[in-house]
Structure 1
Amino acid sequence: MSDAPATVLVYSSRPEVREAVRTAVGRRPAPDVGPLTWIECTTGQDVVDTVDGGGVDLVVLDGEAQPTGGLALSRQLVVEVADRPAICVLIARQPDRWLAHWSQADGTLALPIDPLTASQVVAGLLREHAARGPLRRPARR
């Protein structure tokens, strides 16, 4: 990935979680990634509408969001969006990693968010997304 700008959508029903993600990752998570443009969503429908509109490179979803959790939303995006962005889910407990696997997310971040880990995960997902282009859901047989 070059210095191409990237758009990251962060979803949580809690403003402090959205702020924590933006603050931990920053505007440039790695020298070869960014600058980032942040989009904040507070409802699951906002996420779906924004992703459907295109132009989003990475979605960070709060697994604890209410009433629509980020894990279910991740699974929905994987199944329903043909050219989807990379997906990262926020999990509150390490035992929830199996739920993140079920959601088919491309990556996870644990709460509370560690800035070093967050910037590494986000940069890695953006690099992978740029290298392979938009992710396509598997063809149904």
Structure 2
Amino acid sequence: MLMPTILLYSDDRSVRDEVRGAVGQVTGAGESIEWLDVATYDEVIKRADAGGIDLYVLDGEADKVGGMGICRQLKNEIYNCPPVVLLTGRPQDAWLASWSLADVAVPRPLDPLELQKAVRAVLTTPLRQGVEL
């Protein structure tokens, strides 16, 4: 995979900045990451329809339309949907992430190493094999 494209959804700019800062600009394999920052549901759907996304990072705590609902919609509507890393409000929300069909859930407060490990794992794991962290 050359230059993976990660769609990062949160209505909170500071969350998007925190995620990009934790994950960095380069994958574990040394490829540059192209980040697509979006703050609205409509923009997520527009970008999903356009294709070319290798990974979604969705904020489950976003206002108006949360990442959990968006994740479930994407997984049900896109054939071979790219993997989704879901940012949850707390560790106890893992069951909600499971309902949403997310590939990996990372709870708040965000641990930069855990988030980086999750993103790198899903970018390097073939689709449908599941991700073990």
What TM-score, normalized by structure 2, do the two folds share?
Answer: 0.90
The residue identity in structure 1 corresponding to 2:68 is L
Identify the residue that residue 64 of structure 2 maps to in structure 1. Answer: 67
Identify the residue that residue 5 of structure 1 maps to in structure 2. Answer: 3
Q: Secondary structure at the match of 2:65?
A: coil
Shift of 1:111: 1.7
Deviating 4+ runs (over 3 angstroms): none
Q: Secondary structure at the match of 1:35?
A: coil
The answer to whether the Cα contact below 8 Å between 1:9 and 1:41 also exists between their aligned partners in 2 is yes
The answer to whether the Cα contact below 8 Å between 1:75 and 1:104 also exists between their aligned partners in 2 is yes
Match of 1:116 among 104, 113, 118: 113
What TM-score, normalized by structure 1, do the two folds share?
Answer: 0.85
The unaligned stretches of length 5 or more in structure 2 are 129-133
Q: Secondary structure at the match of 2:58?
A: strand
Identify the residue that residue 53 of structure 1 maps to in structure 2. Answer: 50
> C-alpha distance in 1, partners of 2:84/2:120?
12
The answer to whether the Cα contact below 8 Å between 2:84 and 2:103 also exists between their aligned partners in 1 is yes
> C-alpha distance in 2, partners of 1:100/1:14?
20
Q: Secondary structure at the match of 2:56?
A: strand
Identify the residue that residue 17 of structure 2 maps to in structure 1. Answer: 19
Shift of 1:29: 3.7
> C-alpha distance in 2, partners of 1:42/1:119?
21
Identify the residue that residue 76 of structure 2 maps to in structure 1. Answer: 79
Shift of 1:125: 0.3
CA RMSD, Structure 1 to Structure 2 (Å): 1.4
The answer to whether the Cα contact below 8 Å between 1:29 and 1:120 also exists between their aligned partners in 2 is no
> C-alpha distance in 2, partners of 1:117/1:125?
12
The answer to whether the Cα contact below 8 Å between 1:11 and 1:40 also exists between their aligned partners in 2 is yes
The unaligned stretches of length 5 or more in structure 1 are 136-141
Q: Secondary structure at the match of 2:20?
A: helix
Greater RCO (Cα-Cα under 8 Å, separation 6 or more)? 1
